[in-house]
Amino acid sequence: MQKIQFSSLTPLPLPVSWETIIEKLHDHGAMIEQNPLVIHYERCPPPVDAPHDEALRAWYELTDRIDYIPGLLQGKIRYRASFENTPLGLKTHIYAPLGVDIRNEWSVSERPLGESQDKQGLYLHEETDLRCPFGTAFFVRKNIEQSHSTLVARLAK
């Protein structure tokens, strides 16, 4: 298995408020629907082997449409994910086929570390920990980054 960590920081358009973004992050259905890959989802019970600290989270079964070879080969994947609201945003943990394991933490901040205090506005920060089989990391990461950039753009509206 290969482990990769990456993050993104997106300035949110003014005059979006902290409360509005937190409310959107805490609306799991809306978050899921903003992801352009998801074609179906429904609530589900936690799996019997769910880690103890995730057993009480909200669980969903999702289906994504994936372009394996854009324009030539598409497929669908089904997976489970847990969602946990946090004071600053949202934590998700995705259990996908082939042992793909994705942990995301979304948080809202007034400004990133090191930025000047006279910068106005909010930022959406996404931290991603990805574990996947060797040889699949580029494909999985590319899909995450592309779909999440669309998700963030939709979320910011």
Residue 141 structural domain:
2-35+82-155
Which pLDDT belongs to residue 89?
97
**Domain total in the chain:** 1
pLDDT in tens, 70-115: 778 889 999 999 999 999 999 999 999 999 999 999 999 886 666 6
| pLDDT tops 80 at residue 118 | no
Residue 95 forms part of a structural domain: yes
Q: Rounded to an integer, what distance in angstroms lies between the CA atom of residue 29 and that of residue 59?
A: 11
Examine residue 7 and state whether it is found in any structural domain, yes or no: yes
Strands 123-132 and 2-11: antiparallel
Give rounded-to-5 percent helix, strand, coil for the chain: 25, 45, 30
Contact residues for 48 (Cβ-Cβ < 8 A; gap 6+): none
**Average of per-residue pLDDT across 27-53:** 94
Instruction: Determine, yes or no, domain membership for 48.
Output: no
Distance CA 60, CA 94 (A): 10
Give the residue-averaged pLDDT of 118-146. 88
In a domain, 42, yes or no: no
Whether 43 maps to a domain, the answer reads no
Predicted confidence (pLDDT) at residue 157 exceeds the cutoff of 80: no
pLDDT reported for residue 12: 87
75 belongs to a structural domain: no
* 25 occurs within a structural domain: yes
User: Where is pLDDT greater, at 68 or 82?
Assistant: 82
- Give the CATH number, domain containing residue 106: 3.30.530.20
**Which whole number is the average pLDDT over 146-150?**
85
Residue 142 lies in a domain: yes
